[in-house]
Amino acid sequence: MSDRLTSNWTAVRAEIAAACERANRPVDSVRLVAVTKYAEMDWVRGLVALGQTALGENRPQQLIERAGTLQGAEWHLIGHLQRNKVRAVLPFASCIHSIDSLKLLARIGEIAGELGLTPRVLLEVNVSGEESKDGFSAATVRGDWPQIQAVENVTVAGLMTMAPLTDDPQTARPVFRRLRELRDELQASAQPGIALSELSMGMSGDFAVAIEEGSTMVRVGSRLFEGLSPTH
Ligand SMILES: *Cc1c(COP(=O)(O)O)cnc(C)c1O
C-alpha cells in the first residue's frame, strides 16, 4: 500500500490520541470513521488492510455499490437519505448518521421491521443554524423527541452535526459544545433504555476540537487521502 496513505492514517490516529489525552479521555472513546466519498477503491482497500474498519459514504448509491464489493468493513451513511432509498441502503449500513426528520426515522423503522433489522441511527442537528445545512433544528428535535423515542426497530444512539467550514477550527467549538449540551438535555428527558452515547462531530479540519468537546465519532476524509494521486 502507498506509503502516503499509511502515513496519513497514522498521523490522523496520532492526532486523535493526542486530543483524547488533552481532554483526559481514553483513546478508545473516539472512533475514526474514514470518509471515502472521494477515494478510489484501491485506497479504501488499503485503509481496510491497515486496520480501518469504519468507512463513511455520503451517497446511498455509492455505499451500496462499495459495500457489495468490499466485505470486512462497517459502512456508515453520513449524507442525506431520501425516503425512497431506505429499503435499498438498510441492509448495508451499520449506522446512519444523517436522520434529519421524524418522517425519515419513521420510514426507517417501518422498513427495518419488515427486513428484521435494528439499525443504529443518529439524529443530525443543524446547531449552527446555517440555511444551507440539512438536519433537525434544535427546536424541532426537542419538539419531536417523544415521537422519536417511540419509533420501533431503530436504536437512536446519539446526535450528529456539521460545523461551518472555516479556516479556524476554534470557530467550530461552540457548535460542538451546543450539540453536546443538546444531547445532555435530550438524555435527561429520555425514556429508560434510550442511551444517546454517540456524538458524531469533527471532520478533517476540526476533529481535534470536536474531541475536546466530547465527540465519539470523527468523520475524516480529505486528510486521509491528501497527497495521493488519482489513477483515473
Ligand atoms: C465529506 C464529509 C465529511 C469529511 O469531510 P473532510 O473535510 O473531507 O474530512 C464528513 N462528514 C460529512 C457529512 C461529509 O459529507
Cβ pair 160, 97 in contact under 8 A: yes
Percent of the chain whose pLDDT exceeds 90: 91
Q: Which helix (H) or strand (E) holds 88?
A: helix 86-89
Using a 6 Å cutoff on CB, does residue 35 contact ligand 1?
yes
CA of 97, closest atom in ligand 1: 13
Cβ pair 65, 91 in contact under 8 A: no
What is the pLDDT averaged over residues 150-160?
A: 98
* pLDDT at residue 231 in the model: 80
Q: Three cell numbers at 198?
A: 454517540
Q: Three-state DSSP class for 109?
A: helix
pLDDT at residue 232 above 70?
Answer: no
What is the pLDDT averaged over residues 72-78?
A: 96
198 forms beta bridges with: 158
Find the 32 Cα to ligand 1 centroid distance in Å: 12
**Which one-letter DSSP state was computed for residue 175?**
H
196 forms beta bridges with: none
* pLDDT at residue 71 in the model: 82
Helix axes 41-50, 3-22, angle to 10 degrees: 50
Q: Which domains are present in the chain? A: 2-224 (3.20.20.10)
Each residue's pLDDT tens digit, 194-227 = 999 999 999 999 999 999 999 999 999 999 999 9
Q: Which of 16, 35, 201 to mutate to test the pocket of ligand 1 (most atoms within 8 A of CB)?
A: 35
pLDDT-derived band of residue 133, with 50, 70 and 90 as boundaries?
confident
Find the 200 Cα to ligand 1 centroid distance in Å: 11
pLDDT-derived band of residue 1, with 50, 70 and 90 as boundaries?
low
Q: Which helix (H) or strand (E) holds 34?
A: strand 31-35
Each residue's pLDDT tens digit, 7-16 = 999 999 999 9
Full-model pTM: 0.97
180-to-15, 93, 158 alpha-carbon distances in Å: 21, 24, 10
